Amino acid sequence: MGGLNHFLDTFFNPAVIAKYTPAILNGTLVTIEIGASVILTGILAGLALACLRALKLRPLAWAIVGFADVFRALPPLILILLFYFGLPLVGIRLSATEVLFTVLSLALAAVAEEVFWASLTAIDKGQWEAGLATGLGFGRTLAYVALPQALRIATPPLVNRMLTITKMTALGSVIGVSETLSAASTAQSFSGSATPLTLAAIAYLLVFLPFVALVRWLERRASTSRKPA
């Protein structure tokens, strides 16, 4: 068997592709479902925390900063293992999928809170003063004046972080979540072929490449908008 034929048989074996593609597709659907849930939960939680921090109640602000620092500092894999094996010891039992969702949502919320907070503090102080001076009050000034501007500032870095966090669904394979990588690893073990890993790589490209393109477009747009007229 020539070198090219050996390569194709190892990474693109037609029989293995036909047999294990359904399993890889099912794993990819799990990846998409968990990733979408993590994005929705993490972004909303991060936004809520940033808004609460804007109240400038010192104990609350300290608690939020502590949460953000801890979950940005600890690797998600460590947290997944701690949650999965540690929580049952204190009577809290979560499935592997629930652990993965919880850890990644908290990790994204910590990052999103810092991004939203930085965006809020980047808004000119006069914008806040103008809103308060017109009688809007703090809540409506935050909602109608500060947040729309903060969201525009925060979108490019947030999309980038969402991409990074959601790719970490692959960490679920260490606790048995049947996502893309787990399905591919199982198929590789049974088939003795690297072809399932090729299928997983293609699946990841199809799912995440549009996000990469979106990040690039947002960064280019943000860069263009910052140029002086």
Total number of domains in the chain: 1
pLDDT digits (tens, 9 = 90+) for 110-151: 999 999 999 988 887 777 777 777 777 777 878 777 888 888
| CATH number, domain with residue 79 | 1.10.3720.10
Contacts of 30 (CB under 8 A, 6+ apart): 97, 177, 178, 179, 180
* Structure token digits, residue 152: 């525009």
Q: CB–CB of 174/80 below 8 Å? A: yes
Q: Average pLDDT in the 60-83 region?
A: 94
pLDDT value at 79 more than 60: yes
How far apart, in whole angstroms, are the C-alpha atoms of residue 151 and residue 204? 28
* Structure token digits, residue 84: 């999965």
Give the global pTM: 0.86
Percent of the chain with pLDDT over 70: 94
Domain encompassing residue 19: 3-226
Query: For residue 164, what pLDDT is reported?
Result: 85
The pLDDT-based confidence of 229 (bands split at 50, 70, 90) is very low
Q: Average pLDDT in the 40-50 region?
A: 95
Residue type, 135: G
How far apart, in whole angstroms, are the C-alpha atoms of residue 35 and residue 105? 9
| Closest by CA position to 32, among listed 152, 228, 211 | 211
